[in-house]
Amino acid sequence: MNHIEVCFSPDLIHLHELEGKIVVVVDIFRATSTMVAALANGVKEILPFADLESCRAMESKGFKIAGERNGHTAPGFELGNSPVAFLSGNYSGIRLAMTTTNGTQAIDKSQGAAEILIGAFPNLEATVAFIQAKGKDVLVHCAGWKGRFNLEDSLYAGALVKSLESTHLADEDGALAMKSLFEREGHQLKTYLSQASHAKRLQNHGIDADIDFCLTLDLYDLVVKVNEEGFLVQV
């Protein structure tokens, strides 16, 4: 049987072994939900950046640029970090360069894994099926918030642990705790996560539609991975 463990913040990733594992990066509010929405709605590939300047520079290379800090579109960027923005409009075939407060930092810190997947509730079951076909150990890397634990990424980790229980043993405390939390609260994701500090911050930004989208299960039969050139693509 394979194993599954959970890292609750990019600041703790040094405590985990990445080599040989599938790392699933998750930033429910909103980066990884937005990445899944973008690729499901025509975007060809996404190049993630940890910093604003490197991302901004990609505009002159033919990329659309998406930049967000503290929940707002960064100055000079065409797009921010809204999944709903990709549900309308024509993004067919575009290349996107993207940087966000937490999510793209977590991707950056996942280098060294056998494979890096992008996890979100709208593609949970597709991700589960892909992992089960691979037969590798899994590390869920929660983006958290500025180095801190957050409820929504951790609850996704619990959903993944629960969905993989027939093939992946959860024998460390973080994975066991999040599985229990998901078993208790997973039937009422939206109600439970409305109290999350991140959801409250975003509600103050008037983006309830984004939050609803981010907490919708299995909208897409789509797996997103980081390819050898560092692009996020559909598998």
Instruction: Give yes or no for residue 154 binding ligand L3UKIRZJ (CB under 6 A).
Output: no
Query: Residues 111, 173, 201, 218: which binds ligand L3UKIRZJ (CB under 6 A)?
Result: 201
Burial (CB count <10 Å: 0-12, 13-18, 19+), residue 133: exposed
Shortest CB 146 distance to ligand L3UKIRZJ, Å: 7
Residue 63 CA, chain-centre distance (Å), reads 21
Instruction: Give yes or no for residue 119 binding ligand L3UKIRZJ (CB under 6 A).
Output: no
Contact 159, 152 (CB under 8 A): no
Alpha-helical runs (H) found in the chain? 31-40, 52-56, 103-108, 124-134, 151-163, 173-185, 189-193, 197-203, 208-214
**Among 180, 178, 203, which Cα is nearest to 190's?**
203
Query: Residues 81, 123, 154, 163: which binds ligand L3UKIRZJ (CB under 6 A)?
Result: 81
Instruction: Give yes or no for residue 102 binding ligand L3UKIRZJ (CB under 6 A).
Output: yes
Structure tokens at 49: 């950046």
Shortest CB 108 distance to ligand L3UKIRZJ, Å: 12
What sign for the dihedral angle of Cα 99, 105, 109, 113?
Answer: negative
Taking only Cα atoms into account, the Rg of the chain, rounded to an integer number of angstroms, comes to 16
**Among 31, 35, 13, which Cα is nearest to 23's?**
13
Instruction: Give yes or no for residue 101 binding ligand L3UKIRZJ (CB under 6 A).
Output: yes
With CB under 6 A as the rule, give the number of residues binding ligand L3UKIRZJ: 17
Shortest CB 96 distance to ligand L3UKIRZJ, Å: 15
Contact 113, 22 (CB under 8 A): yes
Residue nearest to ligand L3UKIRZJ (CB): 100
Instruction: Give yes or no for residue 86 binding ligand L3UKIRZJ (CB under 6 A).
Output: no
Interface segment toward ligand L3UKIRZJ; rule CB under 6 A; list 12-20, 51-59, 94-102, 178-186:
94-102
Instruction: Give yes or no for residue 29 binding ligand L3UKIRZJ (CB under 6 A).
Output: yes
**What spatial distance separates the first Cα and last Cα of the chain, rounded to whole Å?**
24
Interface segment toward ligand L3UKIRZJ; rule CB under 6 A; list 18-26, 29-37, 56-64, 159-167:
29-37
Instruction: Give yes or no for residue 110 binding ligand L3UKIRZJ (CB under 6 A).
Output: no
Q: Which residues bind ligand L3UKIRZJ (CB under 6 A)?
A: 27, 29-31, 68, 70-71, 81, 100-103, 143, 145, 198, 201-202
